[in-house]
Amino acid sequence: MANVIVVGAQFGDEGKAKVTDLLAKNADVVVRYQGGCNAGHTVVVDGETYKFHLIPSGALYQKTCIMGPGMVIDPERFLSEVEALGNLISVDKLRVSTTAHVTMPYHLMIDAAEEDSRGDQKIGTTKRGIGPTYADKCARSGIRVEDLLDEKVLRSKLEWMIPRKNVILERLYNLPPLKVEEVFTQYYEYGQRMAKYVSDTAAIIFNSVGQKKNILFEGAQGTLLDLDHGSYPYVTSSSPTAGGACIGAGIGPTIIDRVIGVSKAYMTRVGEGPFPTEQEGEVGDMLRQIGKAWAEVGVTTGRPRRCGWFDAVLGRYSVRINGLDCLAITKLDVLDEFDEIKICNAYRDKTTGETFKELPSIGASFKNMEPIYETFKGWKSSTSECRSYKDLPVEARKYLDFLADELDVSIAIVSVGPQRDQTIVIEDPIHGPKRVLTRST
């Protein structure tokens, strides 16, 4: 294998877990580098569905699984997930970074209250306390996993922090205050239960590199939800992009050999924010509902996903931001029943009429973009039993070839169903050729 980053190339929910699971078989170490329990990863093995929120989805192969310093961890949910998955994974190989930040009860309360107060300005947060946890991290007032293990440090930090958070809870949101002793008792107990998993994970990764072990870096969410490069403010509070793997895991960029992007054969988005190719009528309903196993519902929130056609403009942007070497296309089988299929290949500004092949801005003007489509004939036959590229219907191959040409990146993997074996490997995603930038931007 090699040292490989798997990154979502759309708005999240692209099927990264299946790709990670596929690649984890040959990995020695799997590292999740950002996000918290706002993420949802689903893996289907032998008809059984496993859902992950914090633990890396490569855990089913009994690999060393690392939750890196770039993550934010809700201890209660972590311990519940360990218990739920304990008979399926080797928890002895699970490691949590000492310096990952902890989601506290005031983060959960503030997140929910703030989102509810936004009215028509809602961001679409999962209300899992992620944003407020990262905010405290940036304000240098956060609590880290290592603090849960030290009675004096934890008490001291809570005695300083909770009175300040209570001012916000009581005066701004009319919520009951938290009591220092109650929070301390609960979270110190969590720390004692977590202690056996807590390690200097950056050192583990560094040593693994020195031992020539294969490392797989797994992100949550997707490129277009990146705090810096996504559709701000409708973004997450961390960096799911490939660059975020280095910071969130604690490694230098020189050790990365390969970056694999994951995209659906169409597009989805959960929550608020602009979505140029969204289909709200019959097409959107079909994309969302086809196939029980592929039902488009958020793993974490249970919210129906907004669905639309593939957006090649955003695809090119994602290739550029992440430096993708290849793509994995998931859920091709969802398109099997369509008479015709569309790809957005350019935008038109609804105000000025100007057209764009490359993304002009991911800022405020993004909502003014309307899609210009290329239309393809549907293949109208099942792809779920295809196991090689040549097995795919001709029209399906034309569709994929167009995507590869337009995004200027090879498609290495195609998924045609949720099961592990419903996967077509077109080229070696790990040892294939490095991408050479040829498109002018």
Active site amino acids:
13, 41
**How would DSSP label each residue in 391-425?**
GS-HHHHHHHHHHHHHHTSEEEEEE-SSBTTSEEE
Closest CA to 224 of 309, 317, 290: 317
| CA–CA separation, 409 and 329 (whole Å) | 12
| CA–CA separation, 415 and 42 (whole Å) | 14
Structure token digits, residue 296: 């488009």
The Cβ of residue 285 has, within 10 Å, a number of other Cβ atoms equal to 14
**How would DSSP label each residue in 211-222?**
TT--EEEE--S-
DSSP letter assigned to residue 27: -
Please report, as a single letter, which amino acid is at residue 31.
V
| CA–CA separation, 23 and 30 (whole Å) | 10
Structure token digits, residue 104: 């506290």
Burial class (CB in 10 A: 0-12, 13-18, 19+), 319: buried
Please report, as a single letter, which amino acid is at residue 407.
L
First to last CA, the chain: 32
Count of all residues that appear for the chain in the document: 441
How far, in Å, are 19, 190, 215, 313, 418 from residue 343 at the CA level? 23, 48, 34, 10, 23
Q: Would you give the distance in Å from CA 157 to the centre of its chain?
A: 31
H and E: helices and strands count for the chain: 12, 20
* Sheet with 64-67: strands ordered across: 198-199, 94-97, 64-67, 29-32, 215-218, 3-8, 258-264, 326-330, 410-415, 423-425
The Cβ of residue 159 has, within 10 Å, a number of other Cβ atoms equal to 12
Please report, as a single letter, which amino acid is at residue 177.
P
